Amino acid sequence: MTEVEYVPGTWVAVIGERTWLLLAVTPESALVRRCWELVRSDEPLDEVLAAIVLEGFRAVSGFALLTANRAVVRGEARLQVMNAAGAVEEITAAGVGTWVDRNLDDVARLRVVAGPSGPGLPLRGGVVLANELLVAVSDAAPQSVPVPQSVPVPQPVLAPQPVPVPAPVEQTVVQQEEVVELTVVREQPAPPPAPPQITQVTGVIQSFDWAPQNTPAPAPMPAQPVRQPVTETVLRTTMMSPNDTQLLQGRAGLVRAKKCPAGHLSSDYAVYCRVCEVPLPEQVAAMLPVPVLGLLRLSNGDTISLDRNVVMGRDPSGDRGGVNLVQVGRENDTEISRTHVEIRPANWDVLVRDLGSMNGTSISRPGCPPEKLAPHIDEILYPGTRVTLGDQFFFVFEVSG
């Protein structure tokens, strides 16, 4: 039988028959009861993981979700896996924005550390506050092969022969993370109809971007306008038609939300208000429009509201209807790429993505050292996170009501 011990602490430990969870949330969180119901009912690990992800990483800073053959780790939790031979492997999520998911094999003991150690106490099952979990995985007893009953036949007595014992074979399972790139294909608007033939033009300049080169035209082509150097932040919100506005509103949709006494909206699983951080009163969540989750405070003092996606760079462009195109830096300054970084609200989270920039993008979470973003991979922006484009220009994400 599997034996579990815990060291009292501040994280929430949820212990079941075959699933064990250490969670960085408050004991009053509704997520604790939901995870306990799933673990007690012996639901698959993916069901418990889905409940944690639905809560959002803003509310769950770290966790370790374990079975005898799989482990999912995020945040400050450290997992030590010991096999039958006594070899120990440590699994952490240091430097990983989401989580580490590993298959386990030949496991004898599992130890999760999330805080100061101390004397262990036995635990059969339930929910406790803990800094450490120690799980001794029982080995499956070998099943004997049934011998058919038959009439005994006298046989000559032979000396017993030694049975060869096969040498233990160590198997290592290497799980490769499959990176799936999602390509969003936007429907391109149909080109406008060609204007009627003009035989006489007076004081009107005609310019056709789709006209073939070196083709005679009834009027001379005008010189291309000279772009003025950019010396400050320029907000170039793309123009939206009424249809685009309806599309943007429809994309926001409704979410289940709670209200604090000041009227701020938070996730229906949140325990504290995301804006004023006061405890949320007991209430039934309602379906409400997604609020503006915050703003970006630029290093030059400008602010950009996160009421829609934001694309930032030296000269951002592209088919991005209903997106804020924020132009920063100078035109001849290559420190910032033309299309450098994208920030977008996603349900109750705010995500940032480096768009393959030349000099890269780094983020500094509160109390953590800077780390460089991997290109084209979303990372969650926590309140107070500083995002630096290249080496000089930066902005800070702030929560708003």
Rounded to the nearest integer, the mean pLDDT of the chain is 77
8 Å CB contact between 346 and 57? no
Pairing of strands 324-327, 310-313: parallel
For residue range 174-201, what is the model confidence (pLDDT) as tens digits? 444 444 444 444 445 555 555 545 444 4
Question: Would you call 338 helix, strand, or coil by DSSP?
Answer: coil
Question: Would you call 181 helix, strand, or coil by DSSP?
Answer: coil
Most confident of 66-70, 227-231, 265-269: 66-70
How far apart, in whole angstroms, are the C-alpha atoms of residue 314 and residue 195?
34
Q: Kindly list the structural domains of the chain, giving each domain's residue range(s) and its CATH number in brackets, ordered by start.
A: 3-136 (no CATH), 234-251+292-399 (2.60.200.20), 254-289 (no CATH)
Higher-confidence residue of 188 and 314: namely: 314
Higher-confidence residue of 206 and 252: namely: 252
pLDDT higher than threshold 70 for residue 152: no
Whole-prediction pTM: 0.42
Pairing of strands 294-298, 393-399: antiparallel
Q: What percent of the chain has pLDDT over 70?
A: 70
Who's near 162: CB < 8 A, 6+ residues apart?
Answer: none
How many residues would you count in the chain?
Answer: 401
H or E element in which residue 283 lies: none
> How many CB atoms neighbour CB 127 within 10 A?
19
What would the mean pLDDT of 334-343 be, rounded to a whole number? 89
What local confidence, expressed as pLDDT, does residue 400 receive?
80
Banded pLDDT at 86 (limits 50, 70, 90): confident
Distances (CA, A) of 327 to 31, 230, 355: 41, 8, 15
